[in-house]
Structure 1
């Protein structure tokens, strides 16, 4: 199957963002709905992606080879490397460590304002935390509201901001 330039670029996004979901790809690709994302994946990239047991979108090994892009999550030698949008990188940096008290979404937002002088929407922070949770580097603790903390020490995970995100 020969891919168009657009399909190859979008496949590269799937490889980079995996594990991901429709809404993240919708935002990246500027589409109107998750249904459009699903349709595109099925029509253009069906040979190169699959959904895991949690229904998250992942690229096949052939997809990663085809687009020559490093996967979103790589493990090895005790360090995990994850490529994420800049907001997710910053969220990870300000987030409480594995031995610290977990933080609410609002607490993380306040830390982002203080540390980086940025003011993302609460929903953007929540989405960033959930995405990092799916990637296995953030864990959630349910108290009166869901709270979050890093799943591993900061030095064990390198978070890289990817271009275009």
Structure 2
């Protein structure tokens, strides 16, 4: 299925805003109603989205690859640190414990220990490493290479709105 430029832009919105609702896309796309959103999704993007168990709109993995947008990330400027980001519970915990932009960066193991000490979570090191890598790809976390890769926030905590997705 070949998509128009408008359809690709709207698909990027679905990827970026997921999980999302008709009303959020209605506002973004300047449509009259949620029904118009549903009709557009079904007629133009049916292969690239689905509704989860909570009826929220999500993009397929193919959609994310097609538009080359990181899921759940909103930025106000190209290349800027995102102003909004959707994360899972572990990634939210990582953001809470990873050092700020003016602090010394820490290793994956140090982040793991902080998550375990400051939350009820008990993730393994690979899950924390994966979470840090995703947050780095979004631009919210930066890496500093010393003896081992170390991480810290790329911006102040209060400059990013974090939404925890179910």
Matches within 5 A, 1:13-162: 13-14=58-59, 41=62, 50=66, 52=68, 58=69, 72-76=72-76, 80-162=83-165
TM-score by length of 2: 0.60
The ranges of structure 1 where at least 4 consecutive aligned residues each deviate by more than 6 angstroms after the TM superposition are none
**SS of the counterpart of 2:59?**
helix
Closer/same/farther in 2, CA of residues 49 and 117 from structure 1, 3 Å limit: closer
Deviation at 1:79, TM superposition (A): 7.3
**SS of the counterpart of 1:13?**
strand
Is the CA contact 2:99–2:151 (under 8 Å) kept in the aligned structure 1? yes
Is the CA contact 2:92–2:162 (under 8 Å) kept in the aligned structure 1? yes
Unaligned stretches of 5+ residues in structure 2: 1-41
Aligned residues: 117
TM-score by length of 1: 0.60
Structure with max Cα Rg:
2
